[in-house]
Amino acid sequence: MPWWCEFLGTAILRVGGLSAVFLDFGPSSPITPHVPSVSARLLFTGLLFAGTGSLVALSPIGRRSGAHLNPAVTLAFWTQGKVHPHDLVGYVTAQRLGPATAAADLRLAWGHTAVALHLGVTEPGHGFSPLEAAGLETLMTAALVLMIFFMTSSARTARWTPLGNWLLVASLVWQGAPYSGTSLNPARSLAPALLAPELKHLWAYIAGPLGGANPGCRCVCRVSQYEHADRQALSRPALPPVRWALSFRPRVPWPGPPHQWSSRATPTAHPGDMSLPYACPTRKWKRSAASTSTLALSPARFGALAVWIAGSVRAVGNALSQAVWIAPSPRC
């Protein structure tokens, strides 16, 4: 059942996302006369594309399968021991068949527009080599995997993961599509490339996103190790928590100095005694659930992180485009 839900989820994501691409950048697009700016249309396309994935994640289909919708995400969860090897094979197979079915349906539904845009094949931008596009895809996919692990590491922020995915993917499409096409998903690029067919640059959009899953997981593991060390350092001995106010009247009788204790007697702390360890009423030993996870991100911090990642992608793209820029030949 989860594999079938993953198949439907990836198919719906491709239908919604590629329909947004055809609507905004088709030869007879009704959006172009009203929004001539390519950057604005890229932002609108990213919001529609990522919004489709977020809606799938919130639907019963996504809740049943976990809404990976991406072999790179499934691979990342598998490396962390959160996906069984059988499910890894089943999920990846469903994620490959879903986009293929969606691409075939889109070819029939959009007709000439889909053919003119090569069924939405992802290709490197002008002046970008496939190797550079693969490197940029690795960086962006690592950011996506890192965001997913950060948001799902705490129950307080896990419910905001679809919103985080929407903002981050939309930002990456807006800033990264002019350079690499912003695939982020091997299955998203594989199906159109096989049906178009456009296989020349396909390897970059398979190796890039799959390679981005590993750095993201390594970063999460490193932060988790620091978090575990932090918890060990801040943990106290296994004593009952002190939950009382300072009082001048002892609640239990004081057994006297240690030399007067019998062999069977044990000292018992009372609120008035300040000489025993951990008897300070002002010290709070119990940490709240909100502060036990260093991976948790608030929505405001995540918004700032998404803006920073988008700016970084744009800066990397600009640097690479200037490094490999080829001056266009003058028109006759």
pLDDT value of residue 91: 93
Residue 137: the pLDDT is: 93
Summarize pLDDT for 192-244 with one digit per residue, the tens.
898 888 888 899 999 999 988 877 666 655 555 544 444 444 444 444 444 43
When the pLDDT of each residue in the chain is averaged and rounded to a whole number, the result is 75
Mean pLDDT of 6-17: 93
State the pLDDT at residue 257: 52
User: How far is the C-alpha of 200 from the C-alpha of 235, rounded, in Å?
Assistant: 56
- Residue 168's pLDDT band (boundaries 50, 70, 90)? very high
Q: Read off the tokens for 303.
A: 């918004």
Q: Where are the domains of the chain?
A: 2-229+293-323
Res 167: pLDDT: 92
Count CB-CB contacts under 10 A for residue 151.
24
Q: Please give the span between the terminal C-alpha atoms of the chain, in angstroms, as a whole number.
A: 61
Higher pLDDT, 279 or 155: 155
CB 119, CB 107: distance < 8 Å: yes
Structure tokens, 170: 């939309």
Question: CB–CB of 64/28 below 8 Å?
Answer: no
- Cβ–Cβ under 8 Å, residues 118 and 197: no
CA distances from 273 to 238, 256, 277, 283 (A): 20, 11, 10, 15
Q: Which of 11-25, 101-115, 123-137, 229-243 has the lowest mean pLDDT?
A: 229-243
SS3 (DSSP) at 150: helix
CA distances from 176 to 49, 219, 296 (A): 14, 22, 26
Q: How far apart are CA 213 and CA 148, in angstroms?
A: 11
Residue-wise DSSP of 203-227:
THHHHHHHHHHHHHHHHHHHHHHHH
pLDDT tens-digit readout, 257-301: 545 544 444 444 443 333 333 333 333 333 333 333 434 445 555
Closest by CA position to 148, among listed 254, 35, 295, 36: 295
pLDDT confidence of residue 74:
92
Residue reference for tokens 């950060």: 150
* Cβ pair 182, 316 in contact under 8 A: no
SS3 257: coil
DSSP state of 197: T
Structure tokens at 171: 């930002």
pTM: 0.68
Q: What is the pLDDT of residue 216?
A: 60
- The percent of residues above 70 in pLDDT, for the chain, comes to 64
Place of tokens 């920073």: 308
User: What per-residue confidence (pLDDT) applies to 205?
Assistant: 93
pLDDT of residue 224: 54
Q: What is the per-residue pLDDT for 140?
A: 92
Q: What number is the average pLDDT over the span 52-69?
A: 91
DSSP 292: S
With residue 101 as reference, give the H or E element that holds it.
helix 85-110
Q: Which CATH number fits domain 2-229+293-323: 3.30.300.30, 2.30.110.10, 3.40.50.720, 1.20.1080.10?
A: 1.20.1080.10
Chain-centroid distance, C-alpha 54: 12
Judge whether 280 and 274 are in contact, CB under 8 Å. yes
CB 181 within 8 A of CB 123: yes
Phi and psi angles of residue 317, each rounded to the nearest 5 degrees, phi first:
-65, -40
